[in-house]
Amino acid sequence: MLRRWAKAALHRDANVTLRYVAESEGRRLNRAFRNKDYPTNVLTFIYSVRPLQGDIVICAPVVAREAKAQRKFAAAHHAHLLVHGLLHLQGMDHGRPAEARRMENRERRILRGLGFDDPYA
């Protein structure tokens, strides 16, 4: 399942490590690398563009809480965050409105192809 989701999001070969972490580690990583003192749902670490290499770190308890609060299936939210992280790994961003629209539209297309609903609906 995770490989299928990853393959749908990747446009070229990549060496990616996917890690699921607890809140304590998610918070520590977010604080160390983003100066934000809370656990976040997904973090992307890019080590090399050619060849494409990096880590995706997903904080499982945060994802579970968000899915429940947003009334989403947990699997759909996990798929969305993996796709989101992999798009970041490939250079996409959402810092500006136009970039965010482009990235969100790409996420919607990929997730629809995987059989999931619009994550932003």
In this prediction, residue 70 carries a pLDDT of: 95
CA distances from 117 to 1, 42, 56, 79 (A): 17, 20, 22, 11
CA nearest neighbour of 80 among 101, 97, 58, 102:
58
Q: Does 89 fall in a domain?
A: yes
Q: Does 19 fall in a domain?
A: yes
Q: Does 54 fall in a domain?
A: yes
| Whether the bond into 119 is cis, omega within 30 of 0 | no
Can you give the CATH number for the domain in which 72 is found? 3.40.390.30
Q: Does 108 fall in a domain?
A: yes
Q: Does 26 fall in a domain?
A: yes
Mean pLDDT of the chain: 97
Which phi and psi angles does 54 have, rounded to 5°? 180, 180
Token readout for 117 is 């609903």
Q: Does 120 fall in a domain?
A: no
Q: CA-CA distance, 79 to 116, in Å (whole number)?
A: 9
In this prediction, residue 89 carries a pLDDT of: 97
pTM over 0.85: yes
Question: Hey, which residues does 18 pair with through a beta bridge?
Answer: 56
Look at the chain and report how many structural domains it folds into: 1
Q: Does 57 fall in a domain?
A: yes
What is the distance of C-alpha 82 from the center of its chain?
Answer: 4
- Residue 42: pLDDT band (50, 70, 90) is very high
Share of the chain above pLDDT 70, in %: 100
Q: Does 15 fall in a domain?
A: yes
What confidence tens digit (pLDDT) does each residue in 64-83 have?
999 999 999 999 999 999 99
Q: CA-CA distance, 38 to 29, in Å (whole number)?
A: 9
Domain of 12, in residue numbers: 2-113
